[in-house]
Amino acid sequence: MNVACDPNALVTAIRTANGIGVARLILASRCVYNYTTATAPGDALPIITGDITLVGGPSTKIRRDSAAPDAFRVLEVASGATLHVERISILGGSTAGFGGGILNAGTVVLDQTTLAGNHAANGGAFANNSGAEATIFLSRFNANSTSSVGGGAILNAGTLTMSKSVLAGNSAPINGDGLNTQPNGVSHLIQSTVENNISGSLGGGISNLGTTTLDRVPVTGNKGSGGGGIATGNTNVSIRNLNIRDNIPDNCSPMNTIPGCVN
């Protein structure tokens, strides 16, 4: 189904797709689907309840207008639903809750997707709820932020696999500017980059309370009060082919908790 470059057309298309159950929506290239008001309570677009794929092209963007009078996130995925996003930028979402760009209670797949300039209390760009699944490939999270407990880019309480992607320039006042893995969360990062994120507390790049594995993941130039690169509350962080360096004030915290990480 082709969707014209009109924010109302995308709202209608998602409502129709939810009713059908499975649908592939082709969004217009070089188009900004711009929202000044929420469609669903707290969301720019209708909550995804079916199995929906959103496909963009060069310069396709879905954005909460910076002049919007109210805060609302961009996308929300219900439990049992599935959302695929390909070649789309998700921008400017804002919420006092979880996931400024996307809140996921079901299954999300992001492919060649950018989430930038989003803000939330927790999970500035993306929040993955307990029991939810997310797969992220060739995507970028930058300049996202939180006002409460971390995950300036991503807060993960479910299962997350991220490959060939970048977490850069995100911020949080507490724990894990790039990625915050919650107690029941499992995060796998593969051939990705975590760089130049800033926390007002522990875990400038990554904060772990669950299980986090890193495989060929540079963690560099991040800053926190401790564990500038990675901070963990347990021993469930494993690193393969490590490249953790130049983080402030140290690379990992607590010292000697993460095998192979040297401060």
Residue 251's pLDDT is 95
Per-domain residue ranges of the chain: 2-253
Looking at residue 128, its amino acid is N
Is the pLDDT assigned to residue 242 strictly greater than 80?
A: no
Per-position b or e across 145-165, b if 16+ CB within 10 A of its CB: bbebbbbbbbbbbbbbbbbeb
Do the beta carbons of residue 229 and residue 247 sit within 8 Å?
Answer: yes
Spatial strand order of the sheet with 193-195 comes to 32-35, 61-64, 89-91, 114-116, 140-142, 166-168, 193-195, 218-220, 243-245
Residue 149's pLDDT is 82
Residue 260's pLDDT is 84
Q: What is the mean pLDDT of the chain?
A: 96
Per residue in 171-219, pLDDT (tens digit) is: 999 888 899 999 999 999 999 999 999 999 999 999 999 999 999 999 9
Do the beta carbons of residue 217 and residue 195 sit within 8 Å?
Answer: no
CATH of 2-253, picked from 2.150.10, 3.30.70, 2.160.20, 2.30.230, is 2.160.20
Residue 199's pLDDT is 92
For residue 57, what are its two tokens? Answer: 């092209």
For residue 263, what are its two tokens? Answer: 């401060």
Helix (H) or strand (E) holding 219: strand 218-220
Do the beta carbons of residue 197 and residue 178 sit within 8 Å?
Answer: yes
Closest CA to 81 of 114, 107, 45, 117: 107
Per residue in 109-129, pLDDT (tens digit) is: 999 999 999 999 999 999 999
- The distance in angstroms from the start CA to the end CA of the chain is 53
Percent of the chain scored above 70 by pLDDT?
100
DSSP-derived 3-state class of residue 82: strand
